[in-house]
Amino acid sequence: MTIRIRDAAEADVEGIARVHVQGWRETYKDFLSPEALAGLSVEERVQLWQRALAEPEPRAKLLVAEADGGEIVGFIRGGPIRGKGAELLATEAEIFAIYLLDRVKRQGIGRRLMAGVFDHLSAHGLRSVGLWVLRDNLSARRFYETLGGTAGPEQSFDLRGQMVTEVAYRFDLTLQG
């Protein structure tokens, strides 16, 4: 299977939404209750991604991983820091979301997606990027550490009816490449 990394387009919204929901269900099945995961909706995610594409932030980047035949099997979105947790993250940019379907993990696709967003952010003068990951998601944490991420502060909050703790990971874009 050949995977192509490219900029997302409006036509990709349903595929991105499907990966978002399926990615949550696969990634968080050991961390969140079945009820919390069952409540996820592709339709809600379609609306979220339509808004993101309708009002693009020029320094943000949304990339998709497309398999043979045009199926979206992963995506990433990153851009200038925003919202809650920004002061704790203490970076200029943030990875807002990165998801791959389980069947395409460990093939270098996540690394290619991260590199694409890192390159874009760096080209826009942003020197550091952060993200939040569930503390108990050790495979994701190892992935970020192999890319040069360093663990930072933690925050706890209610996620779909469950208390979870996230760890910040920070990347120095001046060291990437």
What's the confidence (pLDDT) of residue 87?
79
Amino acid found at 71: E
Evaluate if pTM is beyond 0.95: no
Element (H, E) at 78: strand 72-80
Task: Name every residue whose Cβ is closer than 8 Å to that of residue 53 and which is 6 or more positions away in sequence.
Answer: 8, 9, 10, 13, 62
What's the confidence (pLDDT) of residue 84?
66
Quickly name the fold that domain 3-172 has. Answer: Aminopeptidase (3.40.630)
DSSP one-letter code for 130: E
End-to-end CA distance of the chain: 26
The CA–CA distances, whole Å, from 163 to 27, 99, 135 equal 17, 21, 12
What's the confidence (pLDDT) of residue 177?
53
- Tell me the domain boundaries of the chain: 3-172
In this structure, the chain runs to a length of 177
Q: Assess contact for 98 and 113: CB atoms under 8 A.
A: yes
What's the confidence (pLDDT) of residue 141?
97
Q: Assess contact for 123 and 47: CB atoms under 8 A.
A: no
Strand order across the 128-134 sheet: 3-7, 61-67, 72-80, 93-100, 128-134, 162-172, 150-159
Q: pLDDT per position in the chain (177 positions), as tens? A: 799 999 999 999 999 999 999 999 999 898 888 888 888 889 999 999 998 888 878 899 999 999 998 999 999 999 999 876 677 888 999 999 999 999 999 999 999 999 999 999 999 999 999 999 999 999 999 999 999 999 999 999 887 778 889 999 999 998 665
What's the confidence (pLDDT) of residue 15?
97
